[in-house]
Amino acid sequence: MPRLVAVAVPVPLLDALTYRVPEPLPLPAVGARVRVPLGPRQLTGCVVAHPSEPPSSGELKDITAVIDDQALLPAGVVDLCQWVAEYYLAGIGDAIGAALPPGAAQRPSAFKTRRVAVATVQGLSALGVTDSGLTQKQRAALDLVAAAGGLDQRELSERGASRDVVARLVALSLVTWRHDQVERDPFPHAAAAPASRDEERELTPEQAAAVSALSDRVAAGFHVALLHGVTGSGKTEIYLRVADLVRQSGRQVLLMVPEIALTPSVAAFLRDVFGDRVAIQHSGLSTGERHDQWHRIRRGEVDVVVGTRSPVFAPLPRLGLVIVDEEHDTSYKQDEAPRYHGRDVAIVRASRENALVVLGSATPSMESYHHALSGKYQLLTLSKRVLDRPLASVRIVNMREEYAAEGPDVVLSRLLVESIEARLEKKEQVVVLLNRRGYATSVMCRQCGDTFDCPNCSISLTVHRAPRGWRARCHYCNHAVLVPKSCRKCAAPYLEHVGFGTERVEEHLATRFPHAQIGRVDRDSVRRKGALTSLLSRFAAGELDILVGTQMIAKGHDFPRVTLVGVISADVGLGMADFRSAERTFQLLTQVAGRAGRGEQPGEAIVQTLYPEHYSVQLACRQDYAGFFERELAFRKGLRYPPIVALVNAVVRGRSLEDATHVADLVAARVLKADAGRTFTVLRPAPAPLTKLRGEHRAQLFLKGSHRGHMRRALQDALEEMPEVRRRVVVDVDPLSVL
């Protein structure tokens, strides 16, 4: 019997590689990490199988070391990764990489203990004296170490304490290295608005019915339920009750949320109910925190994992329930390899582990609702808010009329201004949404019409306010320049800011309501760790009157004092060349309107738009989900888009558009040839909407059909025949965005 292992290595697009395990090394388990040679390099890989035969070709090499004497990844998770690699046409190394704890593939020695710097007794006393003889840098580093109580070298460097400075402090015995096994508690970052929960509150009749239906399914094997509950209908309470039942039955719970910082109350509630048997996993945590949490889960110390996308791979051995909150949210789809959808992987995982799945949303994705209507999923509906609170009433402002009356520069309509004023007087709070960050959408010369475009991408640069003047930045590649005083082409000094984003809305609000406290939430304003939490908790505490922001403020929040939601422009998403743009618009408008009137006072939403008659605007204003679904499904049927058919997208990158299109044509031809039975359609390759991105030109092709398996295989075969272009092709199975 040969001692062979198939190893997933962290190299894109590669299949598992077979190695021999030389004596006297022990045969590593599936899920254990090993060191292997690949070309001139030594890599850390993960064993995914024990092949009985060596591959027919190629020289067989030996692994160099076994890192884990037991499986690091449970075998079930390794299997799940193999499914992901196959389904999404990704390399097994990428899929395994998504499941490994942070750092596990890079530094095998660093993952068991972490070396952190701590201040010694001398160090602490040196801080107390003015004349310690330390340089300014040493002093600052010592301060940092003493205050933080354990930072590793990377964290120190990130905070400005260089390796040399720390080494010097160690040499002076002011600082020492400790091998840290203390777990960092990530909850302080998460708990922005820990609303307290009444012990046993009475469920509404709809909540009770949903809990009862789900209770019947606990321990009854694989099952998917779609909980369609309007905003404020109390879905969280249902999650908690069912989670508790599952936990009592001795199985574990995975709760997935789009972004933890945006739904801090969920994490806080869970902490309340389940105490320290909860682990939290999301990208906002430091590497060290994530690493600790991962190992707590692996050691079986938790019953409940709360996390974003990647925790779908959490090493839980007894999974009984997966809840995917806001299942329609696009952040569940990973936009780099492996391009998996967290919700869909969750369902696959649950089916393999006989677990119950609850998908929750006020605006379910077209896919999930389609499955619910066809009977594949069980549909549970909450049509009313808790405590008989009404849904927000919505009014539409036709901005064409507003421009005609007030001029073309209007940002805040008269109705919106009056309504904000009225709320501020009553000390109620206001949320203002514009799903576009920055100050202006572009710069244009009024004399020659020249616009400021990104040199690397086919997109205009967004204008941001900078400490000194204006900065134009590309939101795709981050290229940034100061906006000059005059036109680069014709030298005219008439450069105009065109369009507006959240920064400009904030400015308008500040001018119009000088006494109001205004906070802004978008990717720029929350870049600093903790900034988002701080803004949200200030708003929750009533220190802010108005919160303006992008879609980040539309998600899941429960601020009872918000009685007005203003939407500056409902049209931002409608112009996108994407078949999901109506769905996105409907979801965003419904969700943001759902932030109003969640407390005792009823809520109102005001939606500004240039297309008041558009069906996604109209139906969102009536909060008519079923009506929207029907209308949108008719559109998808007509053009044969998901959920009617499945879609696979392949983007080809090239030096020029001709080059990219040419290769895309070749791929398309081979795919067609591979599909002898004509089981799907291949759309003629065309330039991608973003024809140029980060300096590369892009053409794309689509495969459309009911058989994903056929499409995947044909594309896979075609690409395998063209190894020289494989790396230039990005495949996206079930794409969410096709820009």
**Which of 229/642 has CB closer to ligand ADP?**
229
- 511's tokens: 């001018």
- 458, with CB counted inside 10 A (0-12, 13-18, 19+), is middle
Return d(Cα 66, Cα 184) in angstroms, integer. Answer: 28
Shortest Cβ 411–Zn ion spacing (Å): 26
The structure tokens 């720029």 sit at: 524
Return d(Cα 365, Cα 330) in angstroms, integer. Answer: 10
**Which of 237/675 has CB closer to ligand ADP?**
237
- Among the candidate windows 79-87, 123-131, 200-208, 713-721, which touches ligand ADP by CB under 6 A? 200-208
- Name the binder of 524 from Zn ion, ligand ADP, none, CB < 5-8 A by kind: none
579 in contact with Zn ion (CB under 5 A): no
**In the range 215-244, which residues lie near Zn ion by CB under 5 A?**
none
CA-CA-CA-CA torsion sign (141, 145, 148, 154):
positive
Contact track, ligand ADP, 583-622, x by CB under 6 A: ---------------x------------------------
**With contacts defined by CB under 6 A, how many residues of the chain interact with ligand ADP?**
17
Shortest Cβ 325–ligand ADP spacing (Å): 8
Contact track, Zn ion, 476-515, x by CB under 5 A: xx-x------------------------------------
Answer for which of 10, 91, 232, 364 binds ligand ADP (CB under 6 A) is: 232
**Which of 361/608 has CB closer to ligand ADP?**
361
Return d(Cα 607, Cα 584) in angstroms, integer. Answer: 15
Parallel/antiparallel/unpaired status of strands 378-382 and 223-229: parallel
**In the range 381-400, which residues lie near ligand ADP by CB under 6 A?**
386-387
Return d(Cα 310, Cα 18) in angstroms, integer. Answer: 27
Q: Which residues contact 647 (CB under 8 A, 6 or more apart)?
A: 641, 702, 703, 704, 734, 735
**Which of 631/694 has CB closer to Zn ion?**
694
Phi, psi values for residue 390, rounded to 5°: -75, 155
Q: Which residues contact 208 (CB under 8 A, 6 or more apart)?
A: none
- Name the binder of 454 from Zn ion, ligand ADP, none, CB < 5-8 A by kind: Zn ion
Answer for which of 18, 44, 204, 608 binds ligand ADP (CB under 6 A) is: 204
Q: Evaluate whether 33 touches 68 at the Cβ level (below 8 Å).
A: yes
**Which of 149/695 has CB closer to Zn ion?**
695
**Which of 353/558 has CB closer to ligand ADP?**
558
Answer for which of 48, 230, 463, 474 binds Zn ion (CB under 5 A) is: 474
The SS3 of residue 79 is helix
CB-based closest residue to ligand ADP: 234
**Which of 184/384 has CB closer to ligand ADP?**
384
For the chain, how many helices (H) and strands (E)? 23, 31
Shortest Cβ 592–ligand ADP spacing (Å): 12
**Which of 330/458 has CB closer to Zn ion?**
458
Contact track, Zn ion, 412-451, x by CB under 5 A: ----------------------------------------
Answer for which of 93, 234, 438, 501 binds ligand ADP (CB under 6 A) is: 234
Phi, psi values for residue 147, rounded to 5°: -75, -35
Q: Helix 121-128 vs helix 136-148: angle between axes, to the nearest 10 degrees?
A: 120
- Name the binder of 456 from Zn ion, ligand ADP, none, CB < 5-8 A by kind: Zn ion
Answer for which of 64, 330, 456, 581 binds Zn ion (CB under 5 A) is: 456
Answer for which of 6, 21, 190, 454 binds Zn ion (CB under 5 A) is: 454
**Which of 238/440 has CB closer to ligand ADP?**
238
The SS3 of residue 243 is helix
237 in contact with ligand ADP (CB under 6 A): yes
Parallel/antiparallel/unpaired status of strands 175-180 and 114-119: antiparallel
Give 665's Cβ-side CA count (13 Å radius): 6
The SS3 of residue 607 is strand
- Among the candidate windows 185-193, 332-340, 452-460, 622-630, which touches Zn ion by CB under 5 A? 452-460
Shortest Cβ 389–ligand ADP spacing (Å): 8
- Kindly report the length of the chain: 739
- Among the candidate windows 87-95, 230-238, 458-466, 664-672, which touches ligand ADP by CB under 6 A? 230-238
339 in contact with ligand ADP (CB under 6 A): no
Return d(Cα 134, Cα 126) in angstroms, integer. Answer: 9
Return d(Cα 133, Cα 129) in angstroms, integer. Answer: 10
- Name the binder of 232 from ligand ADP, Zn ion, none, CB < 5-8 A by kind: ligand ADP
Nearest CA to 309 among 345, 363, 271? 345
Instruction: Kindly list the distances between the CA atom of residue 20 and the CA atoms of 10, 48, 63, 112, in Å, as whole numbers in the listed order.
Output: 19, 14, 6, 26
Answer for which of 112, 115, 201, 489 binds ligand ADP (CB under 6 A) is: 201
Greatest CA span in the chain, whole angstroms? 85
Phi, psi values for residue 709, rounded to 5°: -55, -45
Return d(Cα 462, Cα 464) in angstroms, integer. Answer: 6
Return d(Cα 427, Cα 410) in angstroms, integer. Answer: 26
In 484-575 the beta strands, taken as DSSP E runs, fall at 495-498, 518-521, 546-549, 562-567
Secondary structure element (H or E) that encloses residue 324, with its range: strand 319-325
Which residues are registered as beta bridge partners of 601?
none
329 in contact with ligand ADP (CB under 6 A): no
- 78's tokens: 């390794």
- Name the binder of 457 from Zn ion, ligand ADP, none, CB < 5-8 A by kind: Zn ion
**Which of 126/593 has CB closer to ligand ADP?**
593
235 in contact with ligand ADP (CB under 6 A): yes
- Name the binder of 661 from Zn ion, ligand ADP, none, CB < 5-8 A by kind: none
Shortest Cβ 197–ligand ADP spacing (Å): 7
438 in contact with ligand ADP (CB under 6 A): no
236 in contact with ligand ADP (CB under 6 A): yes
**Which of 479/713 has CB closer to Zn ion?**
479
- Among the candidate windows 368-376, 474-482, 558-566, 571-579, which touches Zn ion by CB under 5 A? 474-482
- Name the binder of 229 from ligand ADP, Zn ion, none, CB < 5-8 A by kind: ligand ADP
Which residues are registered as beta bridge partners of 358?
225, 323
Which residues are registered as beta bridge partners of 395?
606
Answer for which of 79, 344, 558, 583 binds ligand ADP (CB under 6 A) is: 558
Answer for which of 124, 203, 633, 725 binds ligand ADP (CB under 6 A) is: 203
- Name the binder of 236 from ligand ADP, Zn ion, none, CB < 5-8 A by kind: ligand ADP
**Which of 208/492 has CB closer to ligand ADP?**
208
Return d(Cα 88, Cα 12) in angstroms, integer. Answer: 13
Please report the DSSP string for 339-396 in residue order.
--BHHHHHHHHHHHTT-EEEEEESS--HHHHHHHHTTSSEEEEE-S-GGGPPPPEEEE
Instruction: Kindly list the distances between the CA atom of residue 504 and the CA atoms of 400, 453, 507, 511, 516, in Å, as whole numbers in the listed order.
Output: 20, 20, 5, 11, 16
Answer for which of 105, 214, 457, 715 binds Zn ion (CB under 5 A) is: 457
Phi, psi values for residue 619, rounded to 5°: -75, -30
- Among the candidate windows 125-133, 367-375, 472-480, 696-704, which touches Zn ion by CB under 5 A? 472-480
Shortest Cβ 345–ligand ADP spacing (Å): 23
Q: Which residues bind Zn ion (CB under 5 A)?
A: 454, 456-457, 474, 476-477, 479
Residue ranges in contact with ligand ADP by CB under 6 A: 201-204, 207, 229, 231-237, 386-387, 558, 598
